[in-house]
Amino acid sequence: MSGETITARLPRHAGAAPERAAIVCDGDAICWGALNATVERLAAHLAQRVPPGRGVALHLGNGPALALLFLAAARAGREAQILDPAWPLATARAAIAALTPGLVVSDSAMLAGEGLAVVIDAHLPFARVADALGSSTEGAPPPGPDPLAPFYVGFTSGSTGLPKGFRRHHRSWVKSFRAGDREFDIGATDVVLAPGSLTHSLFLYALVHGLDVGATVVLCRTFRPNHVVRLMRQHDASVLYGVPTQLEMIVEAAAREGASFPAMRWVLSSGAKWQGRAGAELRRLCPAARFAEFYGASELSFTTVARDDEDVPAGSVGRAFAGVELTIRDHRGRVLPPGEVGEVFVKSPFLFMGYACGDAAPLRQADGAVSVGDVGVLDARGFLRLVGRASRMIVTAGKNVHPEEIERVLEAHPAVASAAVLGTDDARRGERLVALVRFRDGAAADTPALIAHARAALPLHRIPRRYAVPPRWPTTSSGKSDFEALCRLWQAGACVGLP
């Protein structure tokens, strides 16, 4: 089997430590020997049942079945198409129609009539998954897949229509594994905690990279902060992956329980917002840990990293991840010098193959590099500061405003947990800035206080004059603020204005 596939190292780890735990999920565990044997058995079944070139759609809640079937599909040379079970049923059916998989495995009887669907219980323990699929114990393992064959279709967070499905081949992740090995020292002695849903590529990556290096990976069926804290203590977790909102909730839960995590060596976040809020407390709880924050996108994988053992400028999302080349370009694709603002272009071996489904325009390309539309600036040392996303830019009084910059400033206010800046129609200015805010528990602030706070960091034309609190704070499946849903709440008149 080629060494450039995501399951190539499983037999090696199984031979070296067959009885050591490979994956643990809420009290259920599978050892390395059983994991390798089960993946091979399921891969033989999928290779026989699913024609080459067709995928395996996995419409399952978090748990052993999803983890095993993802690995088995990759081992069989079939792409695993991971559908979010939280989607409306119509969205799942639209994705299946667009992807035309050779097999659908679901925990919903509502999809049983799709013809190719097999319904299983997502809560099955590891030991019963292969039997539930009806896989034979006699099937011969398929040959190793081509490293350039697609193994994964994931979906970007979306709130309307069919989310964009992005496709990846084995080599893109294996190359990122090796780059990650240069950035971090995660290995077989580690316990990697991936507390989020495997429908989020960060946590799926944490699972697969952890297995690639021979670590024990701990999953949970649902993210509950108190439960995650108990898992961290119970398993002496040494590597924690999280998104900023999760890390903040973990910090709050740990503080309530008086917990600390002396075994923690790395805390890895997919965003940079947490450092200014929960960062200090997280460092106190994990005194031996190092911290790193990633900037990237589903299409790009890792792009930059900001590590706390490096001199990262304030407001920067870090320098290029190992193996990545960054450039800032103008609208004609010309490279701009350090200090000039333009569109961020990324060149790396980690880039995706293309979109599998969904309404997605082709990405801008230049000299082998691509852009997802982020706007930023590189300094003379190669550190990137993001200004915003081109698609969210607001034009007010003839000036371009990137709401992300304003949101970061507002979220630095001690009372504000989250902020969303919108542009609303205005006859005189074109668009007027409105800020929706979510306050921390027990905290509040009025409009003059928020304006005064913003004036310390922003010019007048970038300071919203209207502030409101929505009835709830919708988030995407990755835990980020859902700006489209927040905009709909504002337009529906559901938000309460601040005095």
Under a CB-based contact definition with an 8 Å cutoff, are residues 163 and 92 in contact?
A: no
Convert the pLDDT of each residue in 296-326 to its tens digit.
888 999 999 999 999 999 888 899 999 999 9
Query: At which of 164, 198, 222 does a domain end?
Result: 222
* Residue 250 forms part of a structural domain: no
Query: At which of 391, 425, 449 does a domain end?
Result: 391
What is the pTM for the complete model shown? Answer: 0.84
Same domain, 404 and 376: no
- CATH number of the domain that 473 lies in? 3.30.300.30
Q: Is the pLDDT of residue 424 over 60?
A: yes
Same domain, 163 and 41: yes
- What integer pLDDT is reported at residue 347 of this predicted model? 97
- What integer pLDDT is reported at residue 337 of this predicted model? 96
Same domain, 374 and 467: no
- What integer pLDDT is reported at residue 371 of this predicted model? 93
Q: Is the pLDDT of residue 160 over 60?
A: no
Range of the domain at 98: 10-222
By C-alpha distance, which of 376, 383, 394, 393 is closest to 340? 376
- CATH number of the domain that 200 lies in? 3.40.50.12780
264-280 average pLDDT score: 75
- What integer pLDDT is reported at residue 428 of this predicted model? 66
Burial 191-227 (b: 16+ CB within 10 A, else e): bbbbbbbbbbbbbbbbbbbbbbbbbbbbbbbebebee
Mean per-residue pLDDT over the chain, rounded: 90
Same domain, 149 and 200: yes
Percent of the chain with pLDDT over 70: 94
- What integer pLDDT is reported at residue 9 of this predicted model? 97
Distance CA 83, CA 92 (A): 7
Band (pLDDT 50/70/90 cuts) for residue 1 is very low
Same domain, 320 and 424: no
* Residue 269 forms part of a structural domain: no
Convert the pLDDT of each residue in 441-450 to its tens digit.
889 999 999 9
* Residue 241 forms part of a structural domain: no
* Residue 248 forms part of a structural domain: no
Number of folded domains in the chain? Answer: 3
More confident residue, 146 or 395: 146
Same domain, 38 and 156: yes
* Residue 267 forms part of a structural domain: no
- CATH number of the domain that 323 lies in? 2.30.38.10
Query: At which of 187, 205, 222 does a domain end?
Result: 222
* Residue 366 forms part of a structural domain: yes
Same domain, 162 and 301: no
Under a CB-based contact definition with an 8 Å cutoff, are residues 185 and 333 in contact?
A: no
- What integer pLDDT is reported at residue 391 of this predicted model? 72
* Residue 311 forms part of a structural domain: yes
Convert the pLDDT of each residue in 13-69 to its tens digit.
999 999 999 999 998 999 999 999 999 999 999 999 999 999 999 999 999 999 999
Convert the pLDDT of each residue in 219-268 to its tens digit.
999 999 999 999 999 999 999 999 887 888 899 899 898 999 999 999 99
* Residue 485 forms part of a structural domain: yes
Same domain, 411 and 350: no
Band (pLDDT 50/70/90 cuts) for residue 273 is low
In order of 36, 206, 271, the CA distances from 217 in angstroms are: 15, 8, 22
Q: Is the pLDDT of residue 461 over 90?
A: no
Same domain, 399 and 378: no
Q: What are phi and psi of 365, to 5 degrees?
A: -130, 150
Angle, in degrees to the nearest 10, between helices 170-183 and 201-212: 70
Same domain, 374 and 430: no
117-126 average pLDDT score: 90
**How close are the terminal C-alpha atoms of the chain, in Å?**
65
Same domain, 403 and 328: no
Q: What are phi and psi of 110, to 5 degrees?
A: -65, -20
Same domain, 427 and 336: no
